[in-house]
Structure 1
Amino acid sequence: MTRKRSATRWLLAVLYAAAGYLHIMLPAPFVKITPTWVPYPGIVIALTGIAELLGAVGLSQPWSPRLRRAAGIGLALYALCVWPANFHHMALDMARPDHGLGLAYHVPRLLAQPLLIWAALWASEATDWPFARHTKR
């Protein structure tokens, strides 16, 4: 299980580092899909990029389990907080005559969000669920 956790941790670190880089260096597509109720979308996108980069660094480091857990919890909360933007992006695309990226992209993306949340928590050892051994009392 340790190898699977480590592999998941590194995969998430790479994905979040890449996403963070893109949020900072190429913010336009992210600003475009940001819900209208989000204030200062350009600043928010830059801050989300920084959060992703910091989470990736924290998740990938081996020397502090507490920092790694904090990063996992932070990335899980981040994934939860950006989920509405994913729904907004789907609504924008579905309103277009060509349906943008279409349901074949958006539905799996929306369904994967809970998996990303869980993976960040599990890989960081913030949870053992569902693999914890249950003992009878």
Structure 2
Amino acid sequence: MNTTLLISLYIMSAFYLFAGISHFRKPDFFLKIIPKWVPSPKKVNFLVGGIEIVLGIGLLFADIRAYAAWGIIALLVAVFPANIYHYQQARKKGKHVIATLIRLPIQGVLIYWAYLFI
């Protein structure tokens, strides 16, 4: 693996570790963006955080890196409805509309980034 890709891998791993830990440190932020139709939002928030931590660590091990990358892709697809919901809520409140709108296509970039490690 070349140096640029290796640095990218470490950044991605740190990104998911930070995001996962944030689900436990600042759960209220994430609970606000979980759609109302999701059952047990607190449990789902902690579950997603735990998954992000495990996948972020998994990226660091060559033997399971591809599985972790596929897991990240699956997770990004699974949480996409929450990002749409967050955008809809932002539009309704008239706050953070541009930021939540930009976040939607960023999911595609994150999926591509993870795909690089499959």
Q: Which category of TM-score, normalised to the shorter sequence, fits these structures?
A: over 0.9
Alignment identity in percent? 29
> TM-score normalized by structure 1?
0.81
Which has more helix, going by share of residues? 2
> SS in structure 2 opposite 1:60?
coil
- Aligned residue in 2 for 1:110: 104
Which residue does the alignment assign to 1:45? 45
In structure 2, the residue matched to 1:14 is 14
3-state SS of paired residue (1:38): coil
Which range moves more in the overlay, 38-47 or 26-35? 26-35
CA RMSD of aligned residues (A): 1.2
Q: For residues 34 and 23 of structure 2, what CA distance do their matches in structure 1 show? A: 12
* Structure 1 position 68 matched with structure 2 position 77: no
Query: Which secondary structure does the structure 2 equivalent of 1:23 belong to?
Result: helix
The aligned amino acid for 1:39 is P
Encode CA deviations 1:38-66: one digit per residue, 9 max, x unaligned: 110000000000000001100123xxx33
Equivalent position SS for 2:59: helix
| Structure 1 portions without partners, runs of 5+ | 127-137
Inter-partner Cα distance in structure 1 for 2:114 and 2:33: 24
Shift of 1:106: 1.7
TM-score by length of 2: 0.93
Name stretches of at least 5 consecutive residues in structure 2 with no aligned partner: none
Structure 2 partner of 1:101: 96
Q: Among 76, 89, 92, which residue is 1:92 paired with?
A: 89
Aligned residues: 118
